[in-house]
Structure 1
Amino acid sequence: MRKLIFLLVFLLAVPCVFAGEMPEGYYTTANGKSDSILKSTLRQIIRAHTVLSYGSGEGSSWYCFYYSDRDTATGLCMDMYCDDWKPFTTPGAVVSGCNIEHSFAKSWWGGANNDAYKDCYHLNPSNITANSARSNYPLGVPTQDFKDPSTTGSLRIGKRYSEEYGTYHYVFEPKDEYKGDFARAYFYMATCYGDELTWRKDNPDVGSYYAMRSPTDNDAYLEFLDWEIDVLLAWHRQDPVSIKEINRADAVNNFQNNRNPFIDYPCLVEYIWGNRKGENVDFSRLMSSLDVAFLGCEDKSGCDCTITVPTLTLPQKNTEIELGNTTVDSKRSTTLTIKGELLTEDITLSISGVNAEYFTVSPTTVSAAQALEGYNVTVSYLPMQLGEHSAILTITSSEFTAVPVTLSGSCIFSALEATEITKNSFKANWTNAGVSDYTLNVFTQTMTGKEPTTFYSESFEAGQGDFTIDDKKIPEELSYIWKWDSQYGMKASAFLNQVAYESESWLISPEINLQNAVSAKLTFRHARRFGDLSHLSVKISDDNGINWTNLTIANWPDGSNWNFLASGDVILDAYIGKTVKIAFVYTSTTSGAATWEIKNFVVDGEKSALAKTLITGFPKLVSNVQNYVVTGLTPKTNYFYTVTPAGFAQSNEISVTTLAENETMIDYVETNSLVYYKAGDMLHVLNIEPETIVKVFDCTGRLVESRNHCASEEVFTLPKGVYLFKALNNGRTQSFKIVY
């Protein structure tokens, strides 16, 4: 299902950009090329990509898998190695019972932790048992000596006879519906990395020995031996590119910023390995899988695909349009392209469903001539009541089957930032909720003492939780260092089959907020057996993992038994007022590798206890208005307010500080105004005066970030959208709006 997400701000219609779309002219330099020159040109196009970290956590393989391999209908991991799919939990977390499988086995190039090792176009979430059974075997069709199917998941694993070597060797065969997926991943890897990696031919226990060419072989650019090419070509042709594969490639592209050319243009396989070798490719004659007509063609080779019946090509069936958040009586609009081929009859558009009255489309009729050229209609959302709303836009014609498009939007209520602030008053503001009465509450907050609290805890009884794993160095013989165990919690080891391996792997907590802490300490229980204690450490960072400091742990297991030992209190008072991450760092050498087990992780202590004091006369029923001037206040005092629409929940809380005596609310003059610029996904704000508070609000007035005691330059990372930045310093305010 293709989902179109429109972030619409105020009355502006924001144009749609499809995530994962192929950039215009992406393959231009490959046009007119053939054979090895075509392959090396494609490599130049796709090789310079963003490399994700291997393992779990933000920006990692598992983070990508959450978006590339999760069935959005069920939340399950679409495991191509096993039919027993397991659920994803959160982005970046490891799926229970699964690990990361290199479909193009890492041992084929010696197992170096290079870019190929981390490339998600050939990495897959895999059932651990099936992954282990697959070993480093190449793709193929086994004929004898099959492995026990209870250990191979949905794979068939057995031996085939090698005429090249006169012996039998193991291969693995995926299910029919995945054969093309694997083949195109192999073609991608051979193209992206074939010129820089040497395939191992020195050991018959490594699958590349039987499947890959040597650099000195004839036509070495083909990478695969002829028998393997025959298998891959057959599977590529029998199992053409599917919507699942297209969606997965788009998701990987969103993270790696490169494409798999053999998914985008399946026919390219034929020009390098197949029946079009020796021919110069002409992209104008190829059909891309991203063309909306591709999935409707009988011939999905991409070499020729001609539409022969009237067809609606845009939008696709079951497209979803999310018009985003708005407020009562505030319209959000976007455009939707209606396009088709071989049409002769008019197209009708209608809206139905439970909230149809809040959505409109204009016009409601598109002529055949307009649709043949591509015609934009306007879809609008104008809610009159708070809540989540949806409807169905149906596109019909006598010439094709009706195409439904799901429309959705959210009507929300928010308290907005105060304006017209003086030493004795301010104006409270809020959005329209479509009701006749609002209750405004104004109060102060006073610290009355302190109270015990738990800032964060994770027992590891049910899984890895929100912790992430950063495998900084992992040997090819191991699939993981840290692993969750239902009995022992999080367990780290680089010892396998009586061999110790050199490694380094970090188990990292999520951010732990100590902003309101009065005191804080860390405790956990751990067990250790074997290895050198100096290879284990616990670290803390207060700058989101840029810099780390060792924590002193009072109690360490002596390594002679498996008994769990309490760590003792690790005092964190030096980090009060900050947000921290804590990491358990495991290292090992070939001389020794410990086993380290962690459970019952707790950061607790005391926080400030706050008491609310209501301002005289509040809460107050203020009737049907969207602002109210609050008077009779004390200068230089911090106040808070909330607004509750009749029949609905209370709003967010807004903080406002009245001005001091003899101060006025003025804007900065141009000479000391804020300066900002965008660099990639980051927004840099400069020229900030000392002791300035910077607050960031989204288009609905919701406070999304607040920073105190800012440096002269602050860097913000925010989702795409429209934001209001406010800088407050000694009663002075400067604001600017940015489309980010």
Structure 2
Amino acid sequence: MKRIFVTAITMAMLTATAALAQIPKNYYNSLKGKKGAELKMAVHNIISNATVLSYGSGTGHTWDGFYSTDRLDDGQVVDRYSNDKRYFGSKGKSVSGMNIEHSFPKSWWGGSENQAYKDLYNLMPSEQKINSAKSNYPMGKVTSASTNNGCTKVGTGTNGYKLWEPADKWKGDFARGYMYMATAYQDLTWSSEQATQILQQGDYPTLREWAYTLYIEWAKEDAVDQTEVKRNNAVYKIQGNRNPFVDFPNLMEYIWGDSINYAFDPENTVTTSEYSDDPVQPTEETIYKATFTSETGNFTTTNITVPNNDFEVWTQDSKYGWKGTGYANNRAYAAEALLTSPEIDLTGFSEATLTFNHAVNFCKSPQTTLCVEVVCNGMTTTLDGITWPTGNNWTFIDSGEVSLNAFAGKKINIVFHYKSNDTEAGTWEIKKMSVTGTRSTTGISSVTQSDAPDMSKPYKAYSIDGQSITSPKDYKGIIIIVQDGKTWKMMNR
């Protein structure tokens, strides 16, 4: 197992889940399975259309947006370019001593006041003097500073370019912003000398290698925090598009970094949720749902014991749903049959719950005659914890929440198992059923380069997309190792 050199980062706990509170359901679905250039184009297609505000001050203009995106609870302006303190006045009004600053200036594409010029992901409130000093220079590492206000440096880099460099606490924010701009507006023509120092024409990679290498480094060193997540959510409410490099801190690796040969899966990767003072609560999602009065739910029936070949224990009814009975021709028969669900995929889930609505009549003790089972890896398990009807009426009741946690991470079938005899043949009706689940979390909270895990001690292993690996020695590719509160990214060849 060979270690990849990874810059150390510190991150808040990040949760792998498909349906976060602030990310619209299915918003990133089209990214699944893509990598490298194809992934970047898919991201572009999602984020390139935005409903931007008019530029300037006043209602419906940039400063109106800043009031929502860059205002602290006490009214202070979040200034990422200086340490000065200034405060908003009226909503929509510009703040004295501050400008609207562009990360990507309009001169970079010829001066057109297009969507990119008004995009709030490209705009930040900035103190005027440093705004003027940084001019239209691109962002990079300054080795010789001509201006330094204690937050932003302006000067020359090792490559001889005129550059500006943000403070360490803002480096990741601006890096992810540059990645967004180079993706959302990859089809622009970069026409100025400053632009072509970090950008090249075309959809991929758009950012030059020295630039994306540096920005990935900065994004790792300055991880996504509460301020950045809240701004992403606030801009989304205004523009209708998101910065996916904030939502998925490792997306950059799949487009420009060490994972470009691996398919990205937004449903099973490290992501950020809206931060709060309370721990992030994973969101429950529906895995399977069916109403049997209007559909079969793709269930199948299997007769085990029947009085004759034409006898069907389980039938679907438009009023009562799936109905199982051994009663026919005014008499009870010995019968046994299975009603089996389609495969239900619990891969990637840490918890799962079954619920269904059912009624039982003409059966003295339903829980001793009837049962619900799970088939997993060829083995059958009878489920406990089901709320059963009394067995002497047609009243439908809920089963209660039946735990499927023992089968989390696996693929299963749910089986309703009916039995009767020659003296008692009850009727079991099942009207609807659902399976819900909570996605697994990777638990990746830091990445370390200076030491190595002790593989003789207990550890957990994950693939680059957050899936648990049960046999790391046999796995080829990038592996995340978690041990004793530390995390390593390693390559198994």
Cα distance in 2 for residues equivalent to 1:312 and 1:261: 22
Matched, 1:158 2:150: no
Contact 2:133 2:147 in 1 (8 A): no
Contact 2:226 2:274 in 1 (8 A): no
Cα distance, 1:180 vs structure 2 = 0.5
Cα distance in 2 for residues equivalent to 1:251 and 1:187: 19
Cα distance, 1:246 vs structure 2 = 0.3
Cα distance, 1:28 vs structure 2 = 0.5
Cα distance in 1 for residues equivalent to 2:183 and 2:59: 28
1:61 maps to 62
Equivalent position SS for 1:284:
coil
Cα distance in 2 for residues equivalent to 1:19 and 1:288: 9
Equivalent position SS for 1:65:
helix
Residues 509-540 of structure 1, C-alpha deviations (whole Å, 9 max, x = no match): xxxxxxxxxxxxxxxxxxxxxxxxxxxxxxxx
Unaligned 5+ runs, structure 1: 1-17, 163-167, 297-310, 317-340, 343-368, 374-740
Contact 2:216 2:257 in 1 (8 A): yes
Matched residue type, 1:124: M
Residues 467-493 of structure 1, C-alpha deviations (whole Å, 9 max, x = no match): xxxxxxxxxxxxxxxxxxxxxxxxxxx
Residues 77-106 of structure 1, C-alpha deviations (whole Å, 9 max, x = no match): 010001012000121110111010001222
Matched residue type, 1:225: R
Matched, 1:180 2:147: no
Contact 1:127 1:153 in 2 (8 A): no
2:23 maps to 22
Aligned alpha-carbon RMSD (Å): 3.0
Matched residue type, 1:223: T
2:433 maps to none
Change (3 A) 1:229 1:278: same
2:209 maps to 226
Contact 2:102 2:122 in 1 (8 A): yes
Cα distance in 2 for residues equivalent to 1:315 and 1:287: 13
2:255 maps to 272
Cα distance in 2 for residues equivalent to 1:312 and 1:237: 22
Equivalent position SS for 1:178:
helix
Residue 199 of structure 1 is aligned with which of 184, 187, 190?
190
Cα distance in 2 for residues equivalent to 1:92 and 1:234: 36
Contact 1:81 1:153 in 2 (8 A): no
Unaligned 5+ runs, structure 2: 1-18, 284-349, 352-401, 407-493
Change (3 A) 1:112 1:19: farther
Cα distance in 1 for residues equivalent to 2:216 and 2:58: 36
Residue 314 of structure 1 is aligned with which of 281, 284, 294?
281
Residues 281-329 of structure 1, C-alpha deviations (whole Å, 9 max, x = no match): 122320220177xx99xxxxxxxxxxxxxx954399xxxxxxxxxxxxx
Contact 1:129 1:153 in 2 (8 A): no
Cα distance in 2 for residues equivalent to 1:188 and 1:274: 15
Contact 1:179 1:236 in 2 (8 A): yes
Contact 1:50 1:256 in 2 (8 A): yes
Alignment of 1:535-614 (within 5 A): none
Cα distance in 2 for residues equivalent to 1:71 and 1:278: 41
Contact 2:67 2:91 in 1 (8 A): yes
Change (3 A) 1:22 1:284: closer
Cα distance in 2 for residues equivalent to 1:245 and 1:275: 24
Alignment of 1:492-531 (within 5 A): none
Matched residue type, 2:241: N
Equivalent position SS for 1:188:
helix
Residues 534-564 of structure 1, C-alpha deviations (whole Å, 9 max, x = no match): xxxxxxxxxxxxxxxxxxxxxxxxxxxxxxx
Alignment of 1:4-403 (within 5 A): 21-72=22-73, 74-144=74-144, 146-149=145-148, 152=149, 154-162=151-159, 168-195=160-187, 197-200=188-191, 206-215=193-202, 221-290=204-273, 313-314=280-281
**Relative to total residues, which structure has the larger strand share, 1 or 2?**
1
Cα distance in 2 for residues equivalent to 1:143 and 1:198: 29
Matched residue type, 1:199: W
Change (3 A) 1:313 1:247: closer
Cα distance, 1:278 vs structure 2 = 2.1
Equivalent position SS for 1:182:
helix
Contact 2:31 2:265 in 1 (8 A): no
Contact 1:31 1:283 in 2 (8 A): yes
Cα distance in 1 for residues equivalent to 2:142 and 2:237: 36
Cα distance in 2 for residues equivalent to 1:278 and 1:41: 16
Matched residue type, 2:153: R
Residues 24-78 of structure 1, C-alpha deviations (whole Å, 9 max, x = no match): 0000111111111111111111122212101111111111100110111x21101
Identity %: 40
Residues 677-718 of structure 1, C-alpha deviations (whole Å, 9 max, x = no match): xxxxxxxxxxxxxxxxxxxxxxxxxxxxxxxxxxxxxxxxxx
Matched residue type, 2:155: G
Q: Which runs of 4+ in 1 moved over 3 A?
A: 311-316
Cα distance, 1:20 vs structure 2 = 8.0
Cα distance in 1 for residues equivalent to 2:180 and 2:51: 16
Equivalent position SS for 2:161:
strand
Cα distance, 1:23 vs structure 2 = 0.9
Alignment of 1:406-421 (within 5 A): none
Contact 2:230 2:274 in 1 (8 A): no
Contact 2:141 2:163 in 1 (8 A): yes
Matched residue type, 1:314: Q
Equivalent position SS for 2:131:
helix
Cα distance in 1 for residues equivalent to 2:130 and 2:170: 15
Cα distance, 1:199 vs structure 2 = 1.0
Cα distance, 1:279 vs structure 2 = 1.6
Contact 1:19 1:254 in 2 (8 A): no
Change (3 A) 1:46 1:20: farther
Contact 2:212 2:256 in 1 (8 A): yes
Cα distance, 1:19 vs structure 2 = 12
Cα distance in 2 for residues equivalent to 1:242 and 1:33: 27
Matched residue type, 1:174: P
